[in-house]
């Protein structure tokens, strides 16, 4: 075996960070081989322990990384660390070496987990503890950890016979391989497509900030002195909004929605077809009628019917709202002298004109007040006022890319709490979208060197269009919401306060995980937050009261469009993962038939079409689970209403309860129980529907 780069395992950088400058993409293959070998030895040692199973020698042993003097127990940390580095880089700063390795590592990791799940000796120990759990004197958190471990084994096939376990392992490995390929195909399509605009006429209608971002994007792709439309959301959406060139809008929009559906090596349709079939087979093998039933068992929703009830209730209201919005846009098109229906590449353009007329402002007027630095400061300031934490940038620390910034999070007493990493700009090596991830989770178990516990290392990844050198990056209101949303996720990891890593931070039910992020968005539009932080990029003057009032009044403008494009995606996701009498051969035809049955307006496209629906098909995190954003939105609308009822968005008692029961509890408490502890009641969808402007 080649020599392993120990920098992948021993993180000796400032504040316990990896030493990124000592790590090469070529280091990962051999490091994974060693880490998997060590972890297998650790698992086998726990499984083959001759002592009677106890919580300490079985569950604690599975959870803890152990002291470095005990190589078998320390190996857990080795695999955790090399995996965290690898998967974060695959998403945020990949290269050819990493992408080639991903196709090998994804199924290899899946087989490793399947081998653990099918370890009969290990399952017997966990099952013995589960059956006798009432006699063990466990804490509530320990009960939750044991329950999750036991269910994980059962859902991982521990109760299947040998043939069933082998087939399940093969399915999981193939799904991991397909998911990696799906993600890489989208990245390739996004990276390869560019619309270069060479004339001033092609820029008609575009604000200076967008022109600047497009010039920077063109320069990065070898077209210096020109302007480029890319498939980064922070460029494509404002281009579709402001461009007066309908032919260019159509060309860009069709490329955007065709990602993963262009034929050739990057086409994802065959991937989706096989993924859906394998997921159904997996569910049946484990005794479930459908993959949706399998996925929802551990969620707040529990059953597909509960999801469908919520989505259809919103869908009907969204259709009514969108129908009126489309009529308003059609009138505006006719008024302008044009003679065409509202097409999907027209909607954003004419709705922006209508919004400017109704509320007497447009995004171009607002953007100078939404500099990236101002919104970062606003997100940090809200966290300080709610939770007392202080976030300070630590300059000069080498991260995985020159654009990446490192911050230290400290408690009110000045003690270290976490590291926060901000990666804000789009680049060809990064997949699209925005997300929170972590290099290290919080816990209080023994670690190497005889220390107790670890503090979180959390990362937010965005894809904002980077301004030209020397200029400030300006955000749209949607961009600003995205930043607050992802920082809400980050706070879920930063404020985690549990003993066991398997229930730390965002390790909660999928339809609860969006609550901390979505409720945090509400503070962006709190007037005192905007008036303090939304300051003009040149003058430093706060946003005028009149403009602020218009921005807040326009919050629910175009609500039908937003609800339709999201809910359509969630309903299609659920439809793919219900039980089917026969395999789905043509996944795009299935998507289109589902939308036709729903009465999908021709003027609106799904937020994520099937061939590039990464939430659902690049892994199974949000498969049969895209609805969870809306499920969590029911919770977050109700949660923020608690502050509105108090008349104070920073009410001290509510902020403490929000911290204790929503942000710091992790998965140590049942999500319904912890929400009840915060709010005192479970919500209905009514507050969410009203806040969305659909009532």
**What domains can you pick out in the chain, each with its CATH number?**
6-188 (1.10.1370.40), 193-258 (no CATH), 367-553 (1.10.1370.40)
Nearest-angstrom CA–CA distance, 612 and 431:
11
What is the separation of C-alpha 160 from the centre of its chain, rounded to a whole number of angstroms?
Answer: 32
pLDDT average, residue stretch 411-416: 96
The string of pLDDT tens digits covering residues 594-639 is 999 999 999 999 999 999 999 999 998 899 999 999 999 999 999 9
Q: Check residue 272 and report its DSSP letter.
A: H
Which residues pair with residue 446 across a beta bridge? 452
User: Tokens standing for 46?
Assistant: 């726990």
Q: Which positions ≥6 away from 564 have C-beta within 8 Å?
A: 315, 318, 319, 322, 600, 601, 604
What is the CA angle 105-106-110, rounded to 5? 110
* pLDDT at residue number 447: 85
Q: Does position 96 have pLDDT exceeding 90, yes or no?
A: yes
d(CA 621, CA 330): 39
Q: What is the CA radius of gyration of the chain?
A: 25
Mean pLDDT of 184-211: 95
What is residue 191's three-state secondary structure?
Answer: helix
Q: Which residue, 534, 554, 530, is CA-closest to 369?
A: 534
> Is 491 in a helix, a strand, or coil?
helix
Give the mean model confidence (pLDDT) for residues 152-167.
95
DSSP structural state of residue 229: E
For 634, the enclosing helix (H) or strand (E) is: helix 628-646
pLDDT, residue 654, reads: 98
pTM of the model: 0.91
Centroid of chain to Cα 291:
21
Catalytic option among 77, 454, 486, 514: 486
**CB count in 10 Å sphere of residue 604:** 23
| H/E segment holding residue 423 | strand 416-425
pLDDT higher than threshold 60 for residue 161: yes
pLDDT at 65: 60
Task: Report the 10 Å Cβ neighbour count for 652.
Answer: 11
- Mean model confidence pLDDT for the chain: 95
Q: Which two tokens stand for residue 645?
A: 């009822």
Neighbours of 436 (CB within 10 A): 22
Residue 374 pLDDT greater than 90, yes or no: yes
- Considering Cα of 116, then 117, then 119, then 122, what sign does the dihedral take? positive
C-alpha 241: how far from chain center: 25
Q: What is the mean pLDDT of residues 650-674?
A: 97
Place of tokens 């060809």: 428
Quick one: pLDDT at residue 400?
97
3-state class (DSSP) for residue 655: helix
**Residues 287/292/296/297 CA torsion (nearest 10 deg):** -10
Confidence tier at 67 by pLDDT (50, 70, 90): very low
Gap between the Cα atoms of 172 and 107, Å rounded: 7
> Do the bridges between strand 443-446 and strand 452-454 make them parallel or antiparallel, or are there none, so unpaired?
antiparallel
The predicted model gives 61-74 an average pLDDT of 58
The pLDDT of residue 64 is 84
Beta pairing, strands 416-425 & 405-410: antiparallel
- Sign of the C-alpha dihedral computed for residues 314, 317, 322 and 325 taken in this order: negative
Place of tokens 């900030």: 209
- Residues in the chain, total: 695
pLDDT tens digits for 110-124? 999 999 999 999 999
Establish whether 143 is a catalytic residue: no
The token pair that represents 272 in the structure block: 């989706």
């Amino acid at each position: 075996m080649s020599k392993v780069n120990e920098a992948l395992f021993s993180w000796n950088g400032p504040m316990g960070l990896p030493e990124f400058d000592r790590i090469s993409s070529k280091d990962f293959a051999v490091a994974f081989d060693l880490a998997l070998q060590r972890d297998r030895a650790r698992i086998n040692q726990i499984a083959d322990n001759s002592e009677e199973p106890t919580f300490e020698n079985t569950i604690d042993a599975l959870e803890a990384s152990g002291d470095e003097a005990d190589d078998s127990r320390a190996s857990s940390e080795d695999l955790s660390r090399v995996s965290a580095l690898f998967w974060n880089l695959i998403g945020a700063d990949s290269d050819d070496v990493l992408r080639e390795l991903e196709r090998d590592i994804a199924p290899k990791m899946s087989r490793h987990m399947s081998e653990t799940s099918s370890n009969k000796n290990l399952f017997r120990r966990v099952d013995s503890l589960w059956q006798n759990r009432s006699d063990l004197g466990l804490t509530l958190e320990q009960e939750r950890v044991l329950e999750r471990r036991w269910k994980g084994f059962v859902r991982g096939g521990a109760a299947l016979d040998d043939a069933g376990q082998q087939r399940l392992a093969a399915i999981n490995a193939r799904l991991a391989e397909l998911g990696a390929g799906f993600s890489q195909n989208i990245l390739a399509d996004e990276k390869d497509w560019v619309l270069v605009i060479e004339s001033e006429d092609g820029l008609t209608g575009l604000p200076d900030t967008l022109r600047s971002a497009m010039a920077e994007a063109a320069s990065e792709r070898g077209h210096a002195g020109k302007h480029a439309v890319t498939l980064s959301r922070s460029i494509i959406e404002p281009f579709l909004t402001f461009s007066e060139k309908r032919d260019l809008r159509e060309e860009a929009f069709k490329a955007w929605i065709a990602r993963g559906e262009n034929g050739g090596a990057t086409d994802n349709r065959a991937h989706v077809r096989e993924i859906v079939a394998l997921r159904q087979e997996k569910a049946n093998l484990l005794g479930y009628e459908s993959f949706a039933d399998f996925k929802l068992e551990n969620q707040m929703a529990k059953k597909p019917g509960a999801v469908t009830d919520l989505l259809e209730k919103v869908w009907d209201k969204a259709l009514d709202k969108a129908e009126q919005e489309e009529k308003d846009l059609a009138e505006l098109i006719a008024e302008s002298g044009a003679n065409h229906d509202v097409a999907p590449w027209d909607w954003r353009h004419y709705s922006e004109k209508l919004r400017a007329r109704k509320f007497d402002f447009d995004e171009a007027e607002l953007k100078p007040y939404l500099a990236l630095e101002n919104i970062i400061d606003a997100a940090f300031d809200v966290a300080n006022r709610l939770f007392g934490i202080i976030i300070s940038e630590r300059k000069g620390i080498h991260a995985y890319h020159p654009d990446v910034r490192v911050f230290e999070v400290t408690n009110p007493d000045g003690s270290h709490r976490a590291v926060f990493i901000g990666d804000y700009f789009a680049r060809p090596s990064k997949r699209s979208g925005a997300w929170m991830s972590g290099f290290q989770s919080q816990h209080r178990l023994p670690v190497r060197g005889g220390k107790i516990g670890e503090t979180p290392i959390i990362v937010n990844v965005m894809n904002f269009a980077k301004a030209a050198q020397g200029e400030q990056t300006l955000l749209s209101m949607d961009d600003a919401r995205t930043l607050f949303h992802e920082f809400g996720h980050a706070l879920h990891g930063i404020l985690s306060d549990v003993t066991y890593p398997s229930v730390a931070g965002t390790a909660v039910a999928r339809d609860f995980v969006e609550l901390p992020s979505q409720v945090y968005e509400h503070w962006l539009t709190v007037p005192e937050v905007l008036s303090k932080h939304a300051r003009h990029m040149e003058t430093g003057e706060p946003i005028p009261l009149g403009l602020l009032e218009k921005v807040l009044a326009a919050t629910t403008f175009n609500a039908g469009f937003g609800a339709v494009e999201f809910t359509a995606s969630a309903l299609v996701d659920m439809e793919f993962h219900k039980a089917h009498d026969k395999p789905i051969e043509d996944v795009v035809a299935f998507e289109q038939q589902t939308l036709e049955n729903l009465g999908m307006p021709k003027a609106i496209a799904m937020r994520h079409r099937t061939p590039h629906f990464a939430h659902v098909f690049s892994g199974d995190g949000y498969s049969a689970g895209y609805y969870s954003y809306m499920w969590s939105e029911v919770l977050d609308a109700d949660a923020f209403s608690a502050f509105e009822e108090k008349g104070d968005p920073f009410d001290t008692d509510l902020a403490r309860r929000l911290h204790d029961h929503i942000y710091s509890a992790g998965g140590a408490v049942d999500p319904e129980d912890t929400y009840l502890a915060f709010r005192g009641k479970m919500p209905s969808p009514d507050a969410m529907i009203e806040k969305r402007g659909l009532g």
